[in-house]
Structure 1
């Protein structure tokens, strides 16, 4: 019944090599599914364990390239594999990346909501832990960026350019 990640199964659901349901459609730079057979961007591998510094560096590269959906995957890996006391930090950063993704896709309501939620989470984490710049992250600036972008998105206009509006994560 199952097949590799690159193909469709007999039950018309994509499955990875371990049999888990996994959509294999190609994706664009903002993570939107494209038709089967279309040229997409390379997916960010899931479940990669990185050092926190490597997570920050990879996410920054992806954000600067206009790929916030992919940066979210890096933050999600850190969230799932990191120590319990840092999970809120990585979850908040993932929410910021998804907020930028939604804003770039034209979803102003969802984008603004996630940007504000992520900003609140990272600022709360910094206040609770007394660590405003873990791993070189400038959480106050990142939270300010997110709130500013949320206000801009809610003010209307075209979808944001993800690369042009990407945050600078470190000081």
Structure 2
């Protein structure tokens, strides 16, 4: 094994290559977007606020990492909600990268994952959706998926980012 490989403090492999706003690796030395730190524990409100900021900036790949942190650090009962939101963000990432099959698939998977929370009928211990418009997010993903899959107009990640808390 090559000991010069880039690893985090836990020994997991990571890539030191810079990345663009959609998480695509760039050439070493190229200017990139600052990486989202992993393993950050945030309150649900902080998670929603930071993810929305990243979505609005056209950085859904980075927003997915924020949702992933919430999914892994929060209560188990809320994990399906955060996991589904992470899948929506990755679906938007793939759609913006031009991966129509993967984008549509992840948008549908994420919508299905959060749909149980759409009517406040999620797991008994986690009906809280932290102020998010889950029914609106499900509608957004289900409307975007067929357009992505059908090869419609290119997806602009910033312009088509969902509003997590509904219309402002």
TM-score by length of 2: 0.90
Partner of 2:80: 88
Q: Would you say 1:31 and 2:23 are equivalent positions?
A: yes
Aligned equivalents of 1:138 and 1:170: distance in 2? 5
Structure 2 contact 117–129 (Cα < 8 Å) conserved: no
> For residues 83-122 of structure 1, what are the structure 2 equivalents within 5 Å?
83-122=75-114
Aligned equivalents of 1:133 and 1:149: distance in 2? 25
> For residues 72-87 of structure 1, what are the structure 2 equivalents within 5 Å?
72-87=64-79
List gaps (5 residues or longer) in structure 2. none
Aligned equivalents of 1:16 and 1:65: distance in 2? 27
Partner of 1:159: 154
Partner of 2:63: 71
Query: Post-superposition shift, 1:18?
Result: 4.7
Partner of 2:123: 129
> Which has the larger helix fraction?
1
Residues 130-170 of structure 1: CA deviation (Å, up to 9, x unaligned)? 77762110000001000111011112135310001100010
Structure 1 contact 79–88 (Cα < 8 Å) conserved: yes
Aligned equivalents of 1:142 and 1:28: distance in 2? 25
Aligned equivalents of 2:154 and 2:18: distance in 1? 22
Q: Would you say 1:45 and 2:40 are equivalent positions?
A: no
TM-score by length of 1: 0.88
CA RMSD of aligned residues (A): 1.9
CA gap of 1:111–1:37, structure 2 versus 1, over 3 A, is same
